[in-house]
Structure 1
């Protein structure tokens, strides 16, 4: 059963809570993953970004035709700049290949909300506007000050980069 699934940009990028039960080591994780994949397919999702520390069953995802990126980030922590860049690159490729993406973590709030806001920043939104849009669609998203700060930092990084300056 999908928890907290919603589209940020319809048919392009969505957020969700845990997909496939709680980790590959759970006894019924393959069955739960297959159940969730069926629900995701109904939504049109063809790519998954997992931000949980434990990966999903990659072989199950690939066998079901899904693109997959695992970026393990500790709960309540912000992503590193390298994680954000890798995430953005994955979403760009998925968008070009017409593969709608779902981003998930445990509850679909902190790590997921942070990455969704960074996506919007990359689309030209200010950090504040991105955060507000994510929270409107996914109340409670971006749970810590450190997560809010990384969105601001990413916006500053992109601004410095677009102005021809060397970021950081």
Structure 2
């Protein structure tokens, strides 16, 4: 039996925003930083946040280093726009890198705990491609929804729902893709 009887979304299902996709329709979405419209083009956060909140997202797994002094500190923080209606769970990973195995296991544990508690999760990094793709690929493998060797292909299918960047390679780097391919069910 799948984790919480969750099933992967259809790759043809549009994500809740222009730069996102459903992993599990209605429960788990992933994509770009919710305060950013496109590379170098910052958007007013409440517009994207409103779209996510309107579909029931009430937990944000933030993989960026958007804290002051962090590698992603240039991003427009959205905390004030969601603090009254959603949880923000920060797990910073350096851009275009991979986390330590135990760090990603903790992020997967947190994601699972939020889903098990009934929260609807939005996982994101900056572009929604590298760090986010790594998390989603490993999450699918962890729950035996895909074999490690199929995770990248299935992720590509899911990412078709990202109308803005679904055509881009995810995870972004060979190191990130290899990391997903080496993940094990139950890990």
Q: TM-score range by the shorter chain?
A: 0.7 to 0.9
2:49 equivalent in structure 1: 37
Is the Cα contact below 8 Å between 1:79 and 1:150 reproduced in 2? no
Is the Cα contact below 8 Å between 1:3 and 1:18 reproduced in 2? no
Query: Pairwise CA RMSD of aligned residues?
Result: 2.3
Select the residue among 104, 108, 113 that pairs with 2:133.
Answer: 113
1:53-82 per-position Cα deviation (integer Å, ceiling 9, x unaligned): 11445454332x212211111221112213
Select the residue among 90, 93, 100 that pairs with 1:80.
Answer: 100
1:8 equivalent in structure 2: 23
1:147 equivalent in structure 2: 176
Partners in 2 of 1:157 and 1:84 — Cα distance? 13
1:62 equivalent in structure 2: 83
Structure 1's unaligned 5+ residue stretches are 23-27, 159-168
* More helix as a share of residues: 1
1:52 equivalent in structure 2: 64
Secondary structure at the counterpart of residue 139 of structure 2: helix
Structure 2's unaligned 5+ residue stretches are 1-16, 68-76, 160-166
Is the Cα contact below 8 Å between 1:3 and 1:107 reproduced in 2? no
Q: Relative contact order: is structure 1 or structure 2 higher (C-alpha 8 Å, sep ≥ 6)?
A: 2
**Count of residue pairs the alignment pairs up:** 149
Distance 1:102 1:156, change over 3 A: closer
Distance 1:143 1:39, change over 3 A: same
Select the residue among 122, 126, 136 that pairs with 2:147.
Answer: 126
Q: Give me the TM-score of the superposition, normalised by structure 1.
A: 0.77
Q: Give me the TM-score of the superposition, normalised by structure 2.
A: 0.70
Secondary structure at the counterpart of residue 83 of structure 1: helix
